[in-house]
Amino acid sequence: MWDPLRHGKDIHFTSDTYKPNTTLVDGSYSLLVQYYVKKHGGSIVDSWNWLCGANVDVIVRVHESDKVTADNKTIVFDPWRTYPKADNVVYYGK
């Protein structure tokens, strides 16, 4: 099990949707994980604040097609294992 709060409290999810390129959120694992992040003391940084430069400790790529850029201080969680390897990238899942 991965624990994004181990890497910081301010977490950005690249999407809330169940599938890419849709507005469907029913069954979204992203929203479920966000609930538990907040329950355990973390905060969710929404897209608007992230784009405006809000502090983000962890970025979670929800869909393989989600594009992110991060400095070397920000952890990138990537279940798709397609984000370029770096010291700040954590691959998880099978």
Q: pLDDT value at position 51? A: 86
Q: pLDDT value at position 38? A: 95
Q: Rounded to an integer, what is the distance from CA 54 to the centroid of its chain?
A: 14
The tokens of 37 are what?
């992040």
Residue 61 CA to residue 65 CA, distance in Å, equals 9
Cβ-contact 66, 20 below 8 angstroms: yes
**Strands across the sheet containing 75-78:** 43-44, 10-13, 58-60, 75-78, 89-91
pLDDT (tens, 9 = 90+) of the chain, 94 residues, equals 566 688 999 999 999 999 999 999 998 999 999 999 999 999 999 989 988 989 999 999 999 999 998 999 999 999 999 999 999 999 987 6
CATH entry, 4-91, from 2.60.40, 2.40.50, 3.40.50, 3.90.25: 3.40.50
Q: pLDDT value at position 1? A: 53
